[in-house]
Amino acid sequence: MSNSIAKPSKLPSNQFDHFYKGGDRIGQLRNGPGGPMRPEEWIGSTTTRFGQSLNGLSKVEGGQLLKDLIDQDPVNWLGEKHLKKYGSSTEILVKLLDPDQRLPVHYHPDQKFAKEKLHLNHGKTEAWIILEAPAGAKVGIGFKKDMKKSEIAELVASHDSQGLLDALVFKEVRAGDAVFVPAGVVHAIEAGIFVLELQEPTDLSILLEWDGFAVDGDKDGHLDLGFDTALDALRLTPLSVNEESEILTKFEIKGKTSKKIFNQIADPFFRADFIAGDQNEFEAGFGIYLNLSSDGLIQFENSDEISLQRGDAVLIPHSAGASRFKNCTGILARPPAA
């Protein structure tokens, strides 16, 4: 495989149908197809939908699957240190979410559960970077009090959506907030909140409710494990005050202050930087940059510069070397450090 293939490039839109309704902001930002059942875009994805072999994977500008290119030339895409620690996995999945209805109450298994029950190397710890939010919009994260597995099982079996919602702690969010969501912690997102999500590279969700959504949770809500087993992946205790302080962070969008977005708690899973103006250099490494401003420029140590428009998503391989952002406002998502 020629080294020239591993070079920075702009990513085409990668949207597909989901079980919940979406708005039109992803289509407007990314020049994608949009549509009422397309609330997500998977950006630079080497991850497939759960139980599928192709759906979810991103293509590069020439139509090739990014996963295939990385598998064929992992050193240039990911770097030797990354390969030694993580193998050829990019270790990250980046998404845009634009829910036009509240997301159902759900949670994701951690790495230990995923390995033991699903024979996978990753769970689904994730984080939400809030790009836009209606006034007073909220996210639910964690239970208000200690719960019992039997209590949750009864709420699920009886389709008691209100009971589940009443059990959650809701936090008001606005643009410039970020929420780190540890695997196992129950959560939900209200309608209208526009999110850039970073997560481990899996599609592992366990639903606790699904009435009003285009999914049969009795059949497809438990990762084919059955709810009795799937509920063992759920954290039944509330987040502590210290944990809440660790998972909730603020960065600037309108104020345009460059900043590392998450606290240290996220470092084993992914990294994200909010970039505003002329940013100092970032070291060589795989990354995905989403540009939120009208014009900008990325310069690379070992590759041609790329001019940017609002909504451009740029795939950055390790072989491009150090990168410098000029007149940019956006978010750089990266895997954990090797």
Confidence (pLDDT) at 2: 42
Averaged over 204-231, what is the pLDDT? 97
Instruction: Give rounded-to-5 percent helix, strand, coil for the chain.
Output: 20, 30, 50
Which among 246, 224, 219, 326 has a CA at the least distance from the CA of 280?
A: 326
301-316 pLDDT, tens digit each: 999 999 999 999 999 9
Same fold, 3-250 and 259-334: yes
Confidence (pLDDT) at 31: 84
The pLDDT confidence band at residue 3, using thresholds 50, 70 and 90, is very low
29-66 pLDDT, tens digit each: 998 777 788 999 999 999 999 999 999 999 999 999 99
The pLDDT confidence band at residue 1, using thresholds 50, 70 and 90, is very low
Percentage of the chain beyond pLDDT 70 is 99
DSSP class of 246 = H
Tokens of 143: 């239970």
Please indicate whether residue 168 or residue 280 has the higher confidence score (pLDDT).
Answer: 168
218-263 pLDDT, tens digit each: 999 999 999 999 999 999 999 999 999 999 999 999 888 999 999 9
pTM given for the model: 0.96
End-to-end CA gap in the chain: 24
Tokens of 279: 């940013």
CB 15 within 8 A of CB 29: no
Which among 130, 142, 338 has a CA at the least distance from the CA of 234?
A: 142
Fold of 259-334: Jelly Rolls (2.60.120)
CATH number for the domain whose boundaries are 3-250: 2.60.120.10
Residue 329 CB neighbour total at 10 angstroms: 23
Per-domain residue ranges of the chain: 3-250, 259-334
The number of angstroms, rounded, from the C-alpha of 139 to the middle of its chain's C-alpha atoms is 15
Averaged over 57-77, what is the pLDDT? 96
Ordered strands of the 40-43 beta sheet: 40-43, 93-97, 194-199, 126-132, 177-181, 248-250
Residue 158 has pLDDT above 50, yes or no: yes
